[in-house]
Amino acid sequence: MTATPTTLNARALLLDMDGTIVNSDAVVERCWRRWAVEHGLDPEEALKVVHGRQGYATMAVLLPDRPMEQNLADNRVMLAEETADTDGVVPVPGAPAFMASLAALPHALVTSANEPLARARMGAAALPMPPVRVTAERVGASKPDPEGFLKGAAELGFAPADCIVFEDSEAGIQAGLAAGMRVIGVGPRAAAHAPTAHVPDLTHVTVTADRNGTLTLQITK
Protein backbone atom coordinates (compact mmCIF):
# COMPACT_ATOMS: atom_id res chain seq x y z
CA MET A 1 0.00 0.00 0.00
CA THR A 2 1.31 3.44 -0.93
CA ALA A 3 1.55 5.86 1.99
CA THR A 4 -0.52 9.04 1.79
CA PRO A 5 1.74 12.07 1.32
CA THR A 6 2.01 14.57 4.17
CA THR A 7 0.85 18.03 3.12
CA LEU A 8 2.08 21.24 4.77
CA ASN A 9 1.22 24.80 3.81
CA ALA A 10 3.44 27.85 4.23
CA ARG A 11 4.17 31.29 2.84
CA ALA A 12 7.98 31.08 2.78
CA LEU A 13 10.78 28.54 3.15
CA LEU A 14 14.06 28.94 5.05
CA LEU A 15 16.86 26.64 3.98
CA ASP A 16 19.94 25.52 5.82
CA MET A 17 22.82 24.72 3.45
CA ASP A 18 25.27 22.05 4.65
CA GLY A 19 23.63 18.65 4.90
CA THR A 20 20.29 20.04 3.75
CA ILE A 21 20.77 21.13 0.13
CA VAL A 22 24.56 20.66 -0.16
CA ASN A 23 26.42 17.53 0.91
CA SER A 24 29.72 18.88 2.23
CA ASP A 25 30.35 16.12 4.76
CA ALA A 26 33.63 15.09 3.12
CA VAL A 27 35.16 18.56 3.58
CA VAL A 28 33.71 19.08 7.05
CA GLU A 29 35.07 15.77 8.26
CA ARG A 30 38.52 16.37 6.76
CA CYS A 31 38.90 19.80 8.33
CA TRP A 32 37.44 18.94 11.73
CA ARG A 33 39.31 15.65 12.08
CA ARG A 34 42.53 17.53 11.49
CA TRP A 35 41.59 20.24 14.01
CA ALA A 36 40.53 17.68 16.64
CA VAL A 37 43.80 15.74 16.36
CA GLU A 38 45.82 18.96 16.62
CA HIS A 39 44.01 19.73 19.89
CA GLY A 40 44.24 16.26 21.40
CA LEU A 41 40.57 15.45 20.92
CA ASP A 42 38.86 12.29 19.67
CA PRO A 43 37.83 13.09 16.08
CA GLU A 44 34.79 10.82 16.27
CA GLU A 45 33.51 12.63 19.34
CA ALA A 46 34.20 16.00 17.73
CA LEU A 47 32.20 15.09 14.63
CA LYS A 48 29.14 14.46 16.78
CA VAL A 49 28.80 18.17 17.55
CA VAL A 50 30.20 20.03 14.54
CA HIS A 51 27.12 19.99 12.31
CA GLY A 52 24.85 23.01 12.25
CA ARG A 53 26.88 25.39 14.41
CA GLN A 54 29.35 28.08 13.51
CA GLY A 55 32.90 26.84 14.04
CA TYR A 56 33.66 28.99 17.06
CA ALA A 57 30.54 27.63 18.80
CA THR A 58 31.62 24.05 18.11
CA MET A 59 35.07 24.82 19.51
CA ALA A 60 33.48 26.29 22.65
CA VAL A 61 31.57 23.04 23.19
CA LEU A 62 34.66 20.89 22.66
CA LEU A 63 37.09 23.10 24.60
CA PRO A 64 34.89 24.86 27.16
CA ASP A 65 37.78 26.30 29.17
CA ARG A 66 39.53 27.93 26.23
CA PRO A 67 39.27 31.72 25.74
CA MET A 68 36.69 32.66 23.10
CA GLU A 69 39.31 34.81 21.34
CA GLN A 70 41.21 31.63 20.46
CA ASN A 71 38.04 29.99 19.18
CA LEU A 72 37.30 32.98 16.97
CA ALA A 73 40.87 33.00 15.64
CA ASP A 74 40.77 29.26 14.91
CA ASN A 75 37.39 29.70 13.26
CA ARG A 76 38.81 32.23 10.80
CA VAL A 77 41.49 29.73 9.82
CA MET A 78 38.92 26.94 9.57
CA LEU A 79 36.65 29.01 7.32
CA ALA A 80 39.54 29.75 4.96
CA GLU A 81 40.45 26.05 4.79
CA GLU A 82 36.85 24.99 4.16
CA THR A 83 36.32 27.67 1.51
CA ALA A 84 39.40 26.51 -0.40
CA ASP A 85 38.43 22.82 -0.22
CA THR A 86 35.43 21.88 -2.35
CA ASP A 87 36.54 18.35 -3.19
CA GLY A 88 33.53 16.08 -2.77
CA VAL A 89 30.98 18.89 -2.39
CA VAL A 90 27.83 17.78 -4.22
CA PRO A 91 24.11 18.57 -4.10
CA VAL A 92 21.90 16.53 -1.80
CA PRO A 93 19.75 14.19 -3.95
CA GLY A 94 16.81 16.14 -5.31
CA ALA A 95 18.31 19.55 -4.48
CA PRO A 96 18.71 20.83 -8.07
CA ALA A 97 15.04 20.25 -8.93
CA PHE A 98 13.92 21.46 -5.49
CA MET A 99 15.86 24.72 -5.80
CA ALA A 100 14.64 25.24 -9.36
CA SER A 101 11.05 24.92 -8.12
CA LEU A 102 11.66 27.72 -5.59
CA ALA A 103 13.12 30.22 -8.08
CA ALA A 104 10.08 32.52 -8.09
CA LEU A 105 8.87 31.70 -4.57
CA PRO A 106 9.75 33.32 -1.22
CA HIS A 107 12.77 31.54 0.23
CA ALA A 108 16.02 32.33 1.97
CA LEU A 109 19.29 30.63 2.81
CA VAL A 110 20.03 30.59 6.56
CA THR A 111 23.44 29.06 7.10
CA SER A 112 26.21 28.91 9.69
CA ALA A 113 28.69 29.38 6.83
CA ASN A 114 29.97 32.85 6.04
CA GLU A 115 29.28 34.43 2.65
CA PRO A 116 32.48 33.26 0.89
CA LEU A 117 32.03 29.68 2.13
CA ALA A 118 28.36 29.65 1.17
CA ARG A 119 29.21 30.88 -2.34
CA ALA A 120 31.99 28.31 -2.70
CA ARG A 121 29.82 25.39 -1.69
CA MET A 122 26.69 26.43 -3.57
CA GLY A 123 28.88 26.98 -6.63
CA ALA A 124 30.60 23.61 -6.26
CA ALA A 125 27.19 21.94 -6.01
CA ALA A 126 25.92 23.97 -9.02
CA LEU A 127 22.96 25.30 -7.02
CA PRO A 128 21.54 28.83 -7.38
CA MET A 129 22.30 31.22 -4.55
CA PRO A 130 19.04 32.61 -3.09
CA PRO A 131 18.84 36.42 -3.28
CA VAL A 132 17.91 36.51 0.42
CA ARG A 133 20.45 34.90 2.71
CA VAL A 134 21.45 35.09 6.34
CA THR A 135 25.08 34.02 6.68
CA ALA A 136 27.37 33.88 9.70
CA GLU A 137 28.43 37.53 9.41
CA ARG A 138 24.83 38.67 9.83
CA VAL A 139 24.01 37.11 13.20
CA GLY A 140 25.30 37.61 16.71
CA ALA A 141 24.54 34.08 17.87
CA SER A 142 25.03 30.68 16.22
CA LYS A 143 22.36 28.04 15.88
CA PRO A 144 20.71 26.64 18.05
CA ASP A 145 19.86 30.29 18.70
CA PRO A 146 16.87 31.18 16.48
CA GLU A 147 18.26 34.58 15.42
CA GLY A 148 19.17 33.55 11.88
CA PHE A 149 15.77 32.06 11.07
CA LEU A 150 13.94 35.03 12.60
CA LYS A 151 16.05 37.39 10.47
CA GLY A 152 15.34 35.35 7.36
CA ALA A 153 11.59 35.45 7.97
CA ALA A 154 11.68 39.19 8.65
CA GLU A 155 13.62 39.90 5.45
CA LEU A 156 11.11 37.91 3.43
CA GLY A 157 8.28 39.75 5.18
CA PHE A 158 6.53 36.80 6.79
CA ALA A 159 5.63 35.81 10.34
CA PRO A 160 7.58 32.88 11.82
CA ALA A 161 4.44 30.73 11.93
CA ASP A 162 4.10 31.13 8.15
CA CYS A 163 7.60 29.78 7.48
CA ILE A 164 8.90 26.24 7.15
CA VAL A 165 12.56 25.47 7.84
CA PHE A 166 14.61 22.76 6.12
CA GLU A 167 17.40 21.47 8.37
CA ASP A 168 19.64 18.45 8.90
CA SER A 169 21.28 18.99 12.31
CA GLU A 170 20.22 18.97 15.94
CA ALA A 171 21.34 22.59 16.41
CA GLY A 172 19.47 23.71 13.31
CA ILE A 173 16.26 21.88 14.15
CA GLN A 174 16.34 23.35 17.64
CA ALA A 175 16.85 26.82 16.16
CA GLY A 176 13.92 26.48 13.77
CA LEU A 177 11.56 25.20 16.44
CA ALA A 178 12.71 27.91 18.88
CA ALA A 179 11.86 30.48 16.19
CA GLY A 180 8.27 29.23 16.23
CA MET A 181 8.54 27.58 12.83
CA ARG A 182 7.80 24.12 11.53
CA VAL A 183 10.88 22.14 10.54
CA ILE A 184 11.37 19.51 7.87
CA GLY A 185 14.34 17.39 8.83
CA VAL A 186 16.47 16.24 5.90
CA GLY A 187 18.76 13.20 5.94
CA PRO A 188 19.90 10.70 8.54
CA ARG A 189 21.07 13.15 11.21
CA ALA A 190 17.69 14.87 11.41
CA ALA A 191 15.39 11.99 12.27
CA ALA A 192 16.37 11.72 15.93
CA HIS A 193 15.70 15.38 16.77
CA ALA A 194 11.90 15.64 16.51
CA PRO A 195 11.40 17.76 13.39
CA THR A 196 7.82 18.40 12.30
CA ALA A 197 8.37 16.00 9.40
CA HIS A 198 11.35 14.03 8.10
CA VAL A 199 12.56 13.06 4.63
CA PRO A 200 15.61 11.00 3.58
CA ASP A 201 16.49 13.63 0.95
CA LEU A 202 14.88 16.27 -1.24
CA THR A 203 13.55 13.82 -3.83
CA HIS A 204 10.74 13.31 -1.29
CA VAL A 205 9.51 16.94 -1.34
CA THR A 206 7.60 18.89 -3.98
CA VAL A 207 6.62 22.54 -3.66
CA THR A 208 3.85 24.30 -5.56
CA ALA A 209 2.20 27.69 -5.13
CA ASP A 210 -1.35 28.85 -5.72
CA ARG A 211 -2.36 32.25 -7.06
CA ASN A 212 -2.66 33.64 -3.52
CA GLY A 213 0.94 32.80 -2.71
CA THR A 214 0.26 29.83 -0.46
CA LEU A 215 2.97 27.22 -0.80
CA THR A 216 1.92 23.59 -0.66
CA LEU A 217 4.58 21.05 0.30
CA GLN A 218 3.91 17.41 -0.53
CA ILE A 219 6.14 15.09 1.51
CA THR A 220 6.45 11.43 0.65
CA LYS A 221 8.28 8.71 2.55
Told to judge if 16 belongs to the known catalytic residues of this protein, a careful annotator would answer: yes
DSSP string, 25-65: HHHHHHHHHHHHHHTT--HHHHHTT-TTS-HHHHHHHHSTT
The whole-angstrom separation of Cα 140 and Cα 204 is 34
Cβ count within 10 A of residue 109: 23
CA 109 to chain centre: 8
The whole-angstrom separation of Cα 218 and Cα 153 is 21
Task: Of 11, 210, 22, give the one whose Cα is nearest residue 98.
Answer: 22
Told to judge if 18 belongs to the known catalytic residues of this protein, a careful annotator would answer: yes
Task: Of 151, 156, 137, give the one whose Cα is nearest residue 76.
Answer: 137
- Catalytic-role residue among 18, 145, 162, 201: 18
Catalytically active residues are 16, 18
